Structure 1
Amino acid sequence: MQRPTTPTHPIRGRHAGAAAALALTLPGDWVRHAACGPDTAELFFPIGDTGPAAADIQRAQAICAACPVRQQCLDDADATGQGHGIWGGLTDTERRHRRYGTHQSASTERLHGTEAA
């Protein structure tokens, strides 16, 4: 019986778990300068956001905090619609809040008639 293979991690070519398989391959030269690497790849695709996964998220975000290409990573994640994982120091939930938070507040302003002229 043949063992199934997992896809490679989009940043370092490392074999990754099922969550990482959903990630797209990112373009750009910045990837070579990323602080994350094969030894930490699993931290960036936590299974949840509580319990042991919360500790992994904190460790991944600490790595991102010192990364020289953090903004490029976040920009690429936004541009390619990454729905899973930690990119540019933000979880998928944090990126969603950032992306839609401004849009929702603008919609709320229009509903309440407080939109700036």
Structure 2
Amino acid sequence: MAIGRSGVVETWMAQPDLGEIDVSTVLQALADPIRLRIVRLLDQVEESTCTALDLPVKVSTVSHHVHVLRHSGIVSTRLDGTARPSRLRKDDLERRFPGLLASILAASPPRRPED
């Protein structure tokens, strides 16, 4: 549990401590195109649930990808009733791997076949 921005106690799902995050695990997680799109979307909206993310896959698939991102140390997820909003661990990742996430987010997204 932690005190949120609004002063309310928030409960967060388990995630790796900063020192446990491995760069190869982060890069492997971001190698998947859907997970990379999730990271880009979370960068734009700051926080979102799986159902609110506009992706071309089922919500259960998005949930799986967010789970992988959380266990890789890329996102954190808080409990909010039945909702599970996630956000990027930008500050943590910047401290652990300076410039890595910023470089990934600044890179041009790959062209999708339908483009």
Q: What TM bracket, shorter-length normalisation?
A: under 0.3
Higher RCO (CA 8 Å, separation ≥ 6 residues) = 2
Structure with the higher strand share, 1 or 2:
2
Structure with higher Rg: it is 1
Q: TM-score, normalised by structure 1?
A: 0.25
